[in-house]
A and B are shown apart, each in its own frame.
Chain A
């Protein structure tokens, strides 16, 4: 089935136009051999009569029209999958990169995958405890969700993603609505895909995973900053193909972290520009939405299958701009987003999660009685509302001075500050149980007059509101609450809890 040609006519960027071919099909895998002996994989982007347009994943450096060998392999781009992938490191095309032996595949699977039939999906509703309050309390992640981290250069998205990967645990269902079930043992795996990130960043992940020996349950696909750019189009698909195998054939709960989507999109743009396609916004191709969806929609659960795929893609927003097409289109596809904020980061808060614009759309299905605790949804709504109000009050205070605020508004300002420093702020290795997170939330809402707790059902207020409310009185000297308290958050936690 293999046919070899030396009939390349044009080479433009990562593309080759090959003439006088027969039997070529759309999407077919191509092997390229350049005069200097280097090899590249490619696939067919378009075929018109006897002319094929091929995109070279490893680039076209070293090729020339007359001496480049183009072999059409009669199949699409595939990944050989097996359980033995666990604990291994591959390059962006799925070849071993760790010096270990080739995988003996159980089967070869096309990396472009097939869409899950919407009828066959099972709705994601198992709460994942990440141990991070700003996520668990307010924007919880559930199994089978796709929840990206919108970040910017210099922000600690890698630390956050690694912390999620280390700490993620699923809780057993609890029959008692007032109690949270214990963490559950499960067959989990982490699939990590690097697209265009630096060696240091990739190494950071590997070290973090090693620190908890999660590395043995991890599969890594690395295309680093100095690896070929166009290969990045294949890398996340390699990772997702591995994840689908582990999830739906080996019954594992797979967390897929891939970073950085921005470099992935730039690779797509490069190919699109070389094809002279009509560009969409900022030069990205008009089909960027569809292309991104073909990755993100590979998250989920399937009825009758034990495993699941949860995705946490990371993207750095160019210029911290959420309306840039990459975060924008991502947000339109994913089930929420965790947004990191530079100002919080500057004020020393880790993780600098901007909770208001962050969102988990699957929250309502993943929390509440049985899954976490009955008061979770109401409490989180109240925290959101109060924090939003506090931020507004702070803005007012900037203009008018704090004294001009009403007593209630002053209480909100105080709430917002405490919320950032006690609830959002936590250690990079601090793993808070969801009870701890909820308790912290209740302590914080107790800073407000009870009549302000409009979003919480009375019965929950009666049951959970701390009896000795640490009520705040404007003007009260409140040393526990002064800003800028350094680490040792646990100590502060105790202080606010009054223990």
Chain B
């Protein structure tokens, strides 16, 4: 390859000329330190390059060397538990070389070249295989079996293959294609990040991604393979919610992209995840997690790349047949990175300075979510899925801005965070009136089979109560609670109970952070049972005061802290409601005592 020269440096953007036959989106090495960059525009002999590292002290005349390959990630054993920057440099390797501060020009491969893995072949010589077929497995850690697949574009007959110990680059066998050429089979694949990995077809997703967060699972569920967004002003709880999903959801693999956010949040994950036990596998959460950490003070071009790096890894695990959940925090910082680069390219800006292609890029990203019939596996068909949750950080919390609006066009779940709720420390501050999930009908059969035939009805009833509360609240504000009928006053109390005893969930309390679907259903049943019983009783003329002072209400408040083993406790509360809420029953007696 030839060598070009820099002619212009403006922040993260470098213009070079005479790069030979380099192509759009090829990687280049910039300057004497060989900083990584990507060609993003070509005019005549000039190429504009976004550089993934700081460009301080680069100048005209410095060399630029094309690599002839696009920006790609390395896929193979060794990704789980790793922490990468936006272009898949392992941050631990960089730390080992450069210390606590990120020096530039350090290159370290995404997958360790020294580490030896135990490979067990699952096909034999003479078998014919095609792209995506699993040819063997590596038990990457206690939890995840890493399935080694034939690269998507390859097919033919296995000529040799043998189990044994290999590094990711050593051939585990050979494959002969139809035209007779022999290919080494190695455990590592490379894939260009901007191109979605292929699959046979997308299939409809209907199994909920259970997150353990009640407001999400019961009211606004996401499915495995679905895409959702979580917009909200600063401090409203985007990151905490995403961490909750990363921690407790029933996905098999979690990819977390810290895209232009805080360093300490990454540290938090790094320190916490190895200590936390995955409720499904019983092993530390870090074993199923890959982190992409391109924090706000790391180079902006690498931030732009980070979401692609993350989603490509997610697709790779999906192709193995796993259920993957990917979190991008925050997609707004990604959009801003695009805007900054676009500005330096002097492109015509669209809305609010964002490039005109903002919407297309966002849509293309979220389209990479989905449940699929995986490539290969003709003999053993398999499904895999990528669910995507992107946070959005709208300026001033204004949801009409372009990133939110373009995102809402493509995602089916909208968890709207409200700062007013956060100020009241109502967490998660997900606004139950404006949020939505278009997957409700999809998950209903699953709920029916696996949770409770009445769960959907309960959910809808609770939602209706909350909706009605917001209408009645207006009246109360103007004329006071007394203006409401008994039934309406009971409804107001039930709504409050729904908010405080069901929707509110403290992510930092061990006895509250996770609720199974079964517990969510029971808790809802309890709250609604009190509601119906109270209304019936009030109709019989029982004073509200005595109904509301039933001691069982205290139990309802604390029900969310019950542990999974105590699920029987809910039935006790249900029967306590029945025994206490009878005309002239213990509640009334108790209340009479208090009033005396």
Residues of A within 8 A of B (CB): 22-28, 45-50, 76, 110, 112-124, 144, 248, 277-281, 286-287, 289-290, 293-294, 297-298, 300, 302-305, 322-325, 328-329, 331-333, 335-337, 356-357, 359, 361-362, 364-365, 377, 381, 384-385, 388-389, 396, 399-400, 404, 406, 451, 454
A118 adjacent to B234 (CB under 8 Å)? no
- Report the minimum CB–CB distance from B416 to chain A (whole Å): 17
Interface 9-residue window, one of B123-131, B262-270, B462-470: B262-270
- B282 on interface, CB distance cutoff 8 Å: no
Which chain B residues border A49 with CB–CB below 8 Å?
Answer: 7-8, 60
In the bound assembly, the distance between CA atoms of A332 and B296 in angstroms comes to 10
B60 A76 Cβ-Cβ under 8 A: no
A247 CA / B100 CA spacing, docked (Å): 13
Asked if B423 lies at the interface with its beta carbon under 8 angstroms from chain A, I say yes
- Find out whether the CB atom of A364 lies under 8 angstroms from the CB atom of B500: no
Determine if B99 and A120 form an interchain contact, defined as CB atoms under 8 angstroms apart: yes
CB distance from B549 to the nearest CB of A (A): 10
A124 vs B343: C-alpha distance when bound (angstroms):
36
A115 CB contact (under 8 Å) in B258, B297, B482, B500 = B297
**Does B419 sit within 8 A of A, measured CB to CB?**
yes
Q: How far is the CB of A44 from chain B (nearest CB, A)?
A: 8
User: A47-B60, A119-B95, A328-B396 in contact; A114/B264 too (CB < 8 A)?
Assistant: no
Note all chain A residues with C-beta closer than 8 A to B58.
25-26
Is B424 a contact partner of A385 (Cβ separation < 8 A)? yes
Q: Which residues of B contact A144 (CB under 8 A)?
A: 264
What are the nearest 7 A-B pairs in CB distance?
Answer: A323-B396, A293-B296, A25-B59, A331-B234, A120-B100, A297-B297, A26-B9
A123: which B residues are within 8 A, CB to CB?
264, 267-268, 271
Q: Which residues of A contact B258 (CB under 8 A)?
A: 118
Chosen A-B contacts, 6 in total, with CB atoms closer than 8 Å, are A45-B10, A110-B56, A116-B100, A123-B268, A297-B295, A361-B235
Confirm or deny: B349 has a beta carbon within 8 angstroms of a beta carbon on chain A.
yes
**In the complex, what residues of A have CB within 8 A of residue B43's CB?**
none
> Is the beta-carbon distance between A118 and B56 smaller than 8 angstroms?
no
**A117 near B234: Cβ-Cβ < 8 Å:** no
- CB-contact partner of A46 in B8, B298, B481, under 8 A: B8
Instruction: Give Cα distance in the complex from A123 to B270, angstroms.
Output: 10
Q: Which residues of A contact B422 (CB under 8 A)?
A: 359
- B100 pairs with A305, CB closer than 8 A: yes
Residue of B nearest to A48 (CB): B8
Contacts of A26 in B (CB 8 A): 9-11, 55-59
The reply to whether B9 and A46 contact each other, CB–CB distance below 8 Å, is yes
Is the beta-carbon distance between B395 and A281 smaller than 8 angstroms? yes
Q: Are A277 and B343 in contact (CB under 8 A)?
A: yes
Assess whether B397 is interfacial by the CB under 8 Å rule.
yes
With A and B bound together, what is the CA distance between A46 and B333 in angstroms?
Answer: 24
Residues on B with C-beta less than 8 A from A322 are 396
**Distance in angstroms between the alpha carbons of A25 and B478 in the assembled complex:** 67
- Minimum CB–CB distance from A423 to chain B (whole Å) comes to 16
Indicate whether B300 reaches chain A with its CB closer than 8 angstroms: yes
Of all chain B residues, the one with the shortest Cβ separation from A299 is B264
B61 contacts A by Cβ under 8 Å? yes
Q: How far is the CA of A363 from the CA of B8 in the complex (A)?
A: 46
Q: 19 extra interchain contacts, Cβ-Cβ under 8 A, other than A115-B298, A120-B95, A323-B396?
A: A26-B11, A28-B57, A46-B11, A113-B101, A114-B103, A116-B263, A117-B101, A119-B92, A279-B353, A280-B353, A293-B296, A298-B297, A300-B263, A328-B233, A329-B395, A359-B235, A384-B425, A385-B425, A454-B557
Task: Check A337/B270 contact, CB under 8 A, given A49-B7, A289-B336, A293-B296.
Answer: no
Give chain B residues whose Cβ lies under 8 Å from the Cβ of A117: 91, 94-95, 98-102
Cα(A26)–Cα(B424), bound, Å: 48
B339 within 8 A of A: yes
| Whole-angstrom CA separation of A287 from B339 in the bound complex | 9
Q: Chain A residues near B482 (CB, 8 Å)? A: 404
What's the least CB distance linking A455 to chain B, in Å? Answer: 8
Q: Known: A289-B336, A364-B508. Is A335-B262 also a contact (CB below 8 A)?
A: yes
Of A23, A45, A290, A297, the most chain B CB neighbours within 10 A belong to A290
Question: Considering only CB atoms, which chain B residue lies closest to A365 in the complex?
Answer: B268
Complex contact A286–B500 (CB within 8 A): no
**Contact (Cβ within 8 A) B293 A297:** no
Shortest Cβ distance from A144 into B: residue:
B264
Residue B554 interfacial (CB < 8 Å): yes
Whether, in the assembled complex, B477 has its beta carbon less than 8 Å from a beta carbon of chain A, the answer is yes
CB-CB under 8 A from B102, the residues of chain A are 114-117
Complex: A396 Cα to B474 Cα, angstroms: 11
> Once bound together, how far apart are the Cα atoms of A280 and B352, in whole Å?
6
Taking a contact as CB atoms under 8 Å apart, the answer to whether A332 and B234 are in contact is yes
Give the residue among B94, B233, B267, B340 with the most A Cβ atoms within 10 A.
Answer: B267
Known: A25-B59, A364-B508, A399-B477. A323 touches B424 (CB 8 A): no
Q: Is B180 located at the chain interface by the 8 A CB criterion?
A: no
Check B60–A50 contact: CB distance below 8 A: yes
Q: A297 touching B100 by the CB < 8 A rule?
A: no
CB contacts (< 8 Å) of A122 on chain B: these are 267
Q: Is residue B460 contacting chain A, with contact meaning CB distance below 8 A?
A: no
Which one of A50, A119, A331, A400 lies within 8 Å of B91 (CB-CB)?
A119
B residues less than 8 Å from A389 (CB atoms): 424
| Set of chain B residues within 8 Å of A304, measured between Cβ atoms | 100
Q: Which chain A residues border B11 with CB–CB below 8 Å? A: 26, 46, 287
Question: Complex Cα distance A254/B100, Å?
Answer: 18
**B8, A357: Cβ atoms under 8 Å?**
no
| Cross-chain contact of B419 among A286, A357, A454 (Cβ < 8 A) | A357
